[in-house]
Amino acid sequence: MYKSFEIKNFKCFDHLKLDNLARVNLIAGKNSVGKSALLEALYLHCDGHNPEILSSLKNRRRPLSPDLKQDITVSLSRSYFLNFDTYATIELIGTEDGDGVRSVRLRLDRNPPQGLKGIPIELVAQVPGKDEQRFHAYFDSRRRVLPNPPAPLVPAEFRGAREPIDVNGDSKRFGMLVKGDKLKGGQVSEALKSVELRLERVELLPDEGTYLMHGHIRGISKPVPLPEMGDGILRVAGFVIIMGHCENGALLLDEIENGLHYSILEDVWKTVAEAARQFNVQVFATTHSYECIEAAHRAFRGEHADEFHLFRLERVKGKIRAFDYEPDVLEAAIETGLEVR
């Protein structure tokens, strides 16, 4: 788990440091203060040695043509650097539980290999106790010409704010988790009761040539495919399933409240907290919603207060700063009607 995370020269961040990271971290702030960019920086750092993530991140922001998915140009790469300054070095530094300080540096590769496609950025990974390692992603006719990077150091999943829900993918993951005895169908249905009280059980059933999660609903004789039950159900199911999938890692959720009615948010946070504990996942979520912040505060109040932390990003004198809310300060802010978004 990250204890602190520091960003230099990445996108809108000159220098940002988040201390006091908890198991569940909520990032608030106005538009264009870097909430999503912060998740992107974390995603890059979690993997630790794969520059290809840069193209997948780019594709989340704006769908790229199939060619560009492997070949982001120098011009597209510029947008990762603060003020498009490609002479700067991007630095991402994480302090992790027990593992010390790990850094990832990114710089523009000014001499990319001739005749190859790829991402003109060199990634330099520094893991405590080891020599620096350099990684590139260049391709020849869609075949990687350099060895594949090792597995991510911190298994991470990123759910973007505008990404469609991957029902088939989540169903497949659900099946794998149930088969591996990491998740019980009843556990997901318990989590989904905040959205659909009548839900008794979730199971994977064949559906139109594939396998899909279905819900057994009290009063309805046949199981109902989960997508027929609405986006809220799918979103919450996805949170639990994806945490099972990135056990001992990190879950990055952009605009967590999307598709969820305010009245269920406290229960959703409790579900997220429980799954995060069970699978030892650290959660980083962003929000624009006051209800979402207040619901999180209520969900974690009391014995779980130290498992939740709110950060608010704000542009001050041209630079993004993080404001850190201790639980009692957040309580006072909510009680006295202060703006925390």
**Sites of contact with other proteins (CB under 8 A):** 30, 262, 290-291, 294, 298, 312, 314, 316, 321, 323-326, 328-341
Strands 2-10 and 13-18: antiparallel
Q: Cβ closer to other proteins: 101 or 334?
A: 334
Output DSSP code: residue 116: -
Q: Cβ closer to other proteins: 84 or 262?
A: 262
**Min. distance of Cβ 194 from other proteins in angstroms?**
16
Element (H, E) at 119: strand 117-126
CB within 8 A of 249, min separation 6: which ones? 46, 152, 154, 155, 156, 157, 281, 282
Backbone dihedral region for residue 269 (phi beyond 0: left; psi -120 to 50: alpha; all else: beta):
alpha
Q: Cβ closer to other proteins: 211 or 323?
A: 323
Task: Identify the CA nearest to 104 among candidates 40, 197, 35.
Answer: 40
**Min. distance of Cβ 265 from other proteins in angstroms?**
10
**Min. distance of Cβ 42 from other proteins in angstroms?**
22
**Min. distance of Cβ 339 from other proteins in angstroms?**
4
**Per-residue exposure over 108-121, b if at least 16 CB sit within 10 Å of its own CB, e if not:** bbeebeeeebbbbb
Among positive and negative, which fits the CA dihedral 181, 163, 321, 55? positive
**Min. distance of Cβ 31 from other proteins in angstroms?**
13
Q: Cβ closer to other proteins: 178 or 310?
A: 310
Strands 2-10 and 100-108: unpaired
Q: Tokens for 317?
A: 């004198």
**Min. distance of Cβ 290 from other proteins in angstroms?**
6
Q: Cβ closer to other proteins: 103 or 289?
A: 289
Q: Cβ closer to other proteins: 211 or 290?
A: 290
Q: Cβ closer to other proteins: 121 or 322?
A: 322
**Min. distance of Cβ 17 from other proteins in angstroms?**
15
What is the Cα–Cα distance from 68 to 336, expressed in whole angstroms? Answer: 50
Burial environment of residue 208 by CB neighbours within 10 A (0 to 12, 13 to 18, 19 or more): exposed
Which residue is it, tokens 């704010």?
161
**Min. distance of Cβ 5 from other proteins in angstroms?**
19
Q: Tokens for 151?
A: 């597995």
Q: Cβ closer to other proteins: 208 or 335?
A: 335
Burial environment of residue 34 by CB neighbours within 10 A (0 to 12, 13 to 18, 19 or more): buried
